[in-house]
Structure 1
Amino acid sequence: MSRKTILLMGAPSGRLQWDDKDLLKVAVPPFTQWSSPTSTSSRPDSTKWRVLQSANTAKRHRPEWTQDTIFLDTANLPTKMPRISDDILLSQFYEHSLSILGPSFSSESDINDTILPFDEDDSDVDESISSVVPGSAEAVPFPYPRELHDIKDIPNASYLRSIIPQTPSVTLVVAVMGINPLRRVTARQSKQELDILELIVGDETRTGFGVTFWLPVPENQKQGNNSAAEFREKILGIRLRDIILMRNVGLGSFQDLVYGQSLWRGMTKVELLHRQQVDSQDVQGAYSTVAIGTTTREDKLLCKVRNVRDWLLNFVGTKARHGSHNVGQSLPPDTQ
């Protein structure tokens, strides 16, 4: 039986008929007949097949304000601008970050942020609702987040500049991929000393997002200010590969690079959601492995934790960059 070749010119129509009467008998330009004559063979005809792209799998259009977003990492910042010395460049970044936080620190209002375009009204769960997680028997020791964002949806530097002086904030569920060394700086105007710790985080949508946390120096804390001390202890206790909830992380841009930072007056909250324990006495976070594995689709927070954990286990190696501070580092592999 003769062998036939079918050439598809672009995406075939869903109404395409495979009857011989509807197919061309001869090739049309720019196609030509095969150089060798059609040979006969005793083999049966090969299977006719075609691939049609599903509308559900088509690439979704990304908003313009999320395109070409480049994240800032202070450890790699000098390589992006080699003409400026490392100390001067970091000093400029810290001064820029403090200038954004300054109005919020001195303002009468406790909130100086704005809603991002991807903050939709149909939020997950209101914070006023009980913190018992739907679909699990575990109680979450923090208010349920009103909305969750993916790292891929963080806006670019151009958008952030267009809404100045507003400072947008996001709420993320992420895995810690890197911890840069703890630094101590002095604000130029207030002469106040602050410690800075930067976390490099990622989720199943994108990685490499740097979040800078401004921490009060223990020696300068006012007596009775337990919330600031607890926040510092919680941040310094974060380990590599921890899955955390970061609520109200402020967004800023420096030299066209986008970064996140903590906001004053306790607006930024961080909670440990899940951790791979080194022993039975180690803290595991709000969710156990069993709770993550048995979650339902209705629980969007726990589903996000599961997605991040699956991505972390399947695609992120155990070696990661960490800083020089000793608090929160995991034990060597041979002791786990």
Structure 2
Amino acid sequence: MTCHLVVGLISLSPTRAVQTRFGPSPLVEVLVGDDTRAGFAVTFWLGGSGSSPLAALRPGDVVLLRNVALNAFQGRVYGSSLRRGMTRVDLLYRAREGEGEGYYDAGDLRRAEGGHAQLEKTRRVRDWAVRFVGRGEAEGKGKGKRGWDVMPDVDETQ
């Protein structure tokens, strides 16, 4: 079974190689969520080239994942990419300025009430991602805060 998902990125793992019966295959694991559920894992098999459609994405981005295969293992559902590049990743919204833009901007999301279903879902996921994931380092600039994925200094932990 395949589906399309509008989700916020929680984290992206570094590319790693897994030994399969056909030889080593690179993959990237992505943890995503939306306003209904957090912590859904999607595995992207990169094929022989090792190039990743996820390379330009950052935690907190809202993306459209098209043609994600759903699988169940030990009572848990997870997603994976389909072969031959059938699974597509489109950046819908990025909150941080200066790092590229998604398909929608903040003005589009403000006008999302009662409009297009994908636009409304993107707005809900963006709101969830800002609360759940944060905006990384851009959120704390000049306020003495840091992004959620940055370890504290040794002096701060004592």
Q: TM class, shorter-chain normalised?
A: 0.7 to 0.9
Q: CA RMSD in A?
A: 2.5
**How far does residue 266 in structure 1 lie from its aligned partner after superposition?**
2.1
Q: Which residue of 2 aligns with 1:274?
A: 93
5+ residue gaps in structure 1?
1-167, 220-228, 321-329
5+ residue gaps in structure 2?
143-158
Identity %: 36
Say if 2:67 and 2:87, in contact at 8 Å, map to a contact too: yes
Residues 331 and 277 (structure 1), Cα distance of their counterparts in 2 relative to 1, 3 Å cut? closer
Task: Give the Cα–Cα distance (whole angstroms) in 2 for the partners of residues 246 and 205 of structure 1.
Answer: 16
Where 1:181 maps in the other structure, the secondary structure is coil
Where 2:104 maps in the other structure, the secondary structure is coil
Task: Give the Cα–Cα distance (whole angstroms) in 2 for the partners of residues 296 and 278 of structure 1.
Answer: 23
Q: Which amino acid aligns with 2:13?
A: N
Choose between structure 1 and 2: higher strand proportion. Answer: 2
TM-score (norm 2): 0.79
Q: Which residue of 2 aligns with 1:204?
A: 35
CA deviation string 1:104-130 (max 9, x = no partner): xxxxxxxxxxxxxxxxxxxxxxxxxxx
Q: Larger Rg: 1 or 2?
A: 1
Residues 218 and 302 (structure 1), Cα distance of their counterparts in 2 relative to 1, 3 Å cut? same
Task: Give the Cα–Cα distance (whole angstroms) in 1 for the partners of residues 83 and 95 of structure 2.
Answer: 31
**How far does residue 194 in structure 1 lie from its aligned partner after superposition?**
1.8
Q: Which amino acid aligns with 1:171?
A: H
Q: Which runs of 4+ in 1 moved over 6 A?
A: none
**How far does residue 297 in structure 1 lie from its aligned partner after superposition?**
2.0
Residues 185 and 332 (structure 1), Cα distance of their counterparts in 2 relative to 1, 3 Å cut? farther
TM-score (norm 1): 0.39
Establish whether residue 311 from structure 1 lines up as the match of residue 142 from structure 2: no
**How far does residue 334 in structure 1 lie from its aligned partner after superposition?**
4.2
CA deviation string 1:52-96 (max 9, x = no partner): xxxxxxxxxxxxxxxxxxxxxxxxxxxxxxxxxxxxxxxxxxxxx
Q: Which residue of 1 aligns with 2:47?
A: 216
CA deviation string 1:105-161 (max 9, x = no partner): xxxxxxxxxxxxxxxxxxxxxxxxxxxxxxxxxxxxxxxxxxxxxxxxxxxxxxxxx
**How far does residue 209 in structure 1 lie from its aligned partner after superposition?**
0.4
